[in-house]
């Protein structure tokens, strides 16, 4: 089945953040997943009907509106929404058209805010994660939009490495899996940013930067991933910064992904870590109490991620497992344009449906499934 391609070139404007914008009332925060101005995206739900036909237009509208609402209301480069939009949306430009230039301006404005922040504050809470995703987002824009390194990306990468810990990773909260639950996953995003920035590695000749880059590489080689989800992230990062894993490790991770495919052709994020392995295990009791704990359903997040990572690792788009994954994606989009993924954390917003939609779109692009019929 081919994906309808009505949204090529679709661009949704993103208003810049700034003091001139009035404060917005989040309203009933449980009534919407994303809300700002005229954007009101209802909560994601497992009960939402399956779409009759696969629609790129609805998927892209959800992604654009979600990023716009989060950027304007929350004003940060978040791990679950604007961070991954910033990293991956430029990579879809050839298929979907350029992202709105206002989003780049938002990234630059956020960079200036982070550069002016107290260095000690930047080492705390989610601040290192925001800087890492910000740097990777700017690097991706440079690579896929402009084809050259910008001063802003250089500044962001320098700021990112100024926050690096002695062990080569970055501080991360350990409470909000999968993105804000361990330093390992965040280090893989940092590696993606380093690899994406055009020409930056060749220009990073100072002894201190050379030491920091080597420390990141060594961390990813030396420290065991905390679970198989992190191993998938490691394989993905190796596609951007080659050489962080051996050929044997690469083959082993590919085999793990293939072995975890479910009978319906999809993958489940819950099959890639034991509940106690996420962060400090604070979600374990909740996850073990889920009705389908012993046989978790396929979801958009892990199915899209599996297809993207397999193809980036050299598995052919025509491989039977990849094709079965694509077929699952074509059958399981919801009417809102999203693909459902149940949160590992709460029963409220299910923000993981954002990457649970972005990754499927990336997967369809990676397998040449975005073409018009």
CATH assignment at residue 252 = 1.50.10.20
Retrieve residue 325's tokens: 């994954």
Examine the pLDDT at 141 and tell me if it is beyond 70: yes
- Residue 144: which domain range? 35-366
Examine the pLDDT at 372 and tell me if it is beyond 50: no
Q: Is residue 317 part of a domain?
A: yes
Report how far Cα 258 is from the mean position of its chain's Cα atoms. Answer: 21
CA distances from 53 to 64, 204, 205, 335, 337 (A): 20, 48, 52, 9, 10
Give tens-digit pLDDT for 81-135: 999 999 999 999 999 999 999 999 999 999 999 999 999 999 999 999 999 999 9
Q: Is residue 15 part of a domain?
A: no
d(CA 268, CA 282) in angstroms, rounded, equals 20
Eight-state DSSP code of residue 291 = T
Q: Is residue 86 part of a domain?
A: yes
| Cβ pair 322, 310 in contact under 8 A | yes
How many domains does the structure of the chain reveal? 1
Give tens-digit pLDDT for 313-343: 999 999 999 999 999 999 999 999 999 999 9
Q: Is residue 7 part of a domain?
A: no
Retrieve residue 308's tokens: 């993207």
Give the pLDDT confidence score for residue 106 in this predicted structure: 98
Q: Is residue 179 part of a domain?
A: yes
Q: Is residue 2 part of a domain?
A: no
Q: Is residue 29 part of a domain?
A: no
Examine the pLDDT at 216 and tell me if it is beyond 90: yes
Of the two residues 1 and 152, the one the predictor is more confident about is 152
Q: Is residue 324 part of a domain?
A: yes
Examine the pLDDT at 184 and tell me if it is beyond 70: yes
Of the two residues 67 and 371, the one the predictor is more confident about is 67
Its pTM stands at 0.92
Q: Exposure of 118 by Cβ count < 10 A (0-12 exposed, 13-18 middle, 19+ buried)?
A: exposed
């Amino acid at each position: 089945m081919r994906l309808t391609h009505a949204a090529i070139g679709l661009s949704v404007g993103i208003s810049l953040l700034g003091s001139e914008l009035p404060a917005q009332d989040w309203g009933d925060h449980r009534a919407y997943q994303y809300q700002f101005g005229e954007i009101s995206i209802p909560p994601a739900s497992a009960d939402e009907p399956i779409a009759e036909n696969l629609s790129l237009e609805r998927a892209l509208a959800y992604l654009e509106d979600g990023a716009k609402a989060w950027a304007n209301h929350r004003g940060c480069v978040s791990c679950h929404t604007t961070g991954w939009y910033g990293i991956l949306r430029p990579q879809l430009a050839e298929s979907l058209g350029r992202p709105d230039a206002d989003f780049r301006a938002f990234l630059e404005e956020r960079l200036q805010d982070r550069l002016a922040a107290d260095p000690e504050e930047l080492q705390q809470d989610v601040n290192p994660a925001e800087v890492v995703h910000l740097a990777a987002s700017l690097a991706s824009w440079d690579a896929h939009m402009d084809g050259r390194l910008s001063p802003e990306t250089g500044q962001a990468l320098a700021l990112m490495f100024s926050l690096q810990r002695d062990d080569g990773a970055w501080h991360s909260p350990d409470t909000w899996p999968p993105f804000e639950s361990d330093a390992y996953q965040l280090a893989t995003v940092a590696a993606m940013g380093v690899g994406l920035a055009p020409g930056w590695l060749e220009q990073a000749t100072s002894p201190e930067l050379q030491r920091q880059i080597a420390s990141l590489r060594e961390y990813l080689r030396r420290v065991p991933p905390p679970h198989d989800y992190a191993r998938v992230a490691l394989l993905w990062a190796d596609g951007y910064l080659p050489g962080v894993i051996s050929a044997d490790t690469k083959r082993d991770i590919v085999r793990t992904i293939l072995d975890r495919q479910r009978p319906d052709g999809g993958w489940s994020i819950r099959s890639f870590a034991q509940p106690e392995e996420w962060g400090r295990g604070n979600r374990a009791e909740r996850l073990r109490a889920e009705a389908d704990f012993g046989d978790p359903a396929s979801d958009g997040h892990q199915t899209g991620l599996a297809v993207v990572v397999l193809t980036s690792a050299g598995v052919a788009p025509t491989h039977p497992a990849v094709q079965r994954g694509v077929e699952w994606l074509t059958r399981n989009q919801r009417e809102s344009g999203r693909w459902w993924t149940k949160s590992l954390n709460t029963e409220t917003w299910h923000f993981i449906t954002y990457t649970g939609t972005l990754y499927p779109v990336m997967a369809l692009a990676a397998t040449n499934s975005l073409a018009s019929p």
